[in-house]
Structure 1
Amino acid sequence: MRHVRESYVAAMAEFQAEGRGGPDDQTVIGAEIRRYGPTWHTREGFARYVRDLRAEAEADRPRPAGIVPATTLWWVEGAEYLGRLAIRHRLTPKLLDVGGHIGYDVRPSARRRGHATAMLRAALPIAAGLGIDRALITCDVDNLGSRKVIEACGGEFEDQRGVKLRFWVPTSPA
Structure 2
Amino acid sequence: MTTALIRPTADLYDSWAAAVNEFDGVHIDGSGLQAPVVPGRVTLDALIRDAAVLADTTVAPPEDRVHNDLYWIVDDREVVGFLSFRHTLNDWLREAGGHIGYAVRPSRRRQGYASAALALALDRAREIGLERVFITCDDDNVASARTIERAGGVLQDISDQTERGHSLLRRYWIAL
User: Which runs of no fewer than 5 residues in structure 2 stay unpaired?
Assistant: 1-8, 161-167
* Structure-1 residue corresponding to 2:92: 94
Given that 1:11 and 1:107 are in contact with CA atoms closer than 8 Å, whether structure 2 keeps it comes out as yes
2 CA distance for matches of 1:74 and 1:31?
12
Counterpart pick for 1:151 among 103, 128, 149: 149
What is the aligned residue count?
160
Q: What is the aligned counterpart of 1:15 among 23, 39, 58?
A: 23
- Rounded Cα–Cα distance in structure 2 between residues aligned with 1:98 and 1:114: 24
Counterpart residue number, 2:63: 64
The answer to whether the 8 Å contact 1:3/1:79 transfers is no
- Secondary structure of the corresponding residue to residue 157 of structure 1: strand
Counterpart selection for 1:81 from 79, 82, 90: 79
The 3 A distance-change label for structure 1 pair 62 and 150 is closer
Residue 106 of structure 2: aligned partner: 108
**What is the DSSP-based 3-state SS (H/G/I as helix, E as strand, rest coil) of the residue aligned with 2:23?**
helix
RMSD across aligned positions (CA):
2.3
CA deviation after TM superposition for structure 1 residue 62, in Å? 4.2
CA contact (8 A) 1:138 1:166 kept: yes
Distance 1:58 1:11, change over 3 A: same
| Native 8 Å contact 1:12 1:33 kept in 2 | no
Which whole-Å CA distance do the structure 2 matches of 1:87 and 1:116 have between them? 14
CA offsets 1:48-102 (integer angstroms, 9 cap, x no match): 422321221123144132x111111211112210012111111112211111111
Residues 156 and 167 of structure 1 are in contact (CA less than 8 Å); yes or no, is this contact kept in structure 2? yes
Change (3 A) 1:154 1:129: same
Given that residues 69 and 89 in structure 1 are in contact (C-alpha distance below 8 angstroms), is that contact kept between their aligned partners in structure 2? yes
1:49 is aligned, of 47, 50, 53, to 47
**What is the percent sequence identity of the aligned residues?**
36
Structure with greater helix percent: 1
Q: 1:170 — aligned with what?
A: 175
TM-score (norm 1): 0.81
Change (3 A) 1:82 1:38: closer
Retained in 1: the 8 A contact 2:114–2:147? yes
**Structure number with higher relative contact order (C-alpha < 8 Å, ≥ 6 residues apart):** 2
Unaligned ranges ≥5, structure 1: none
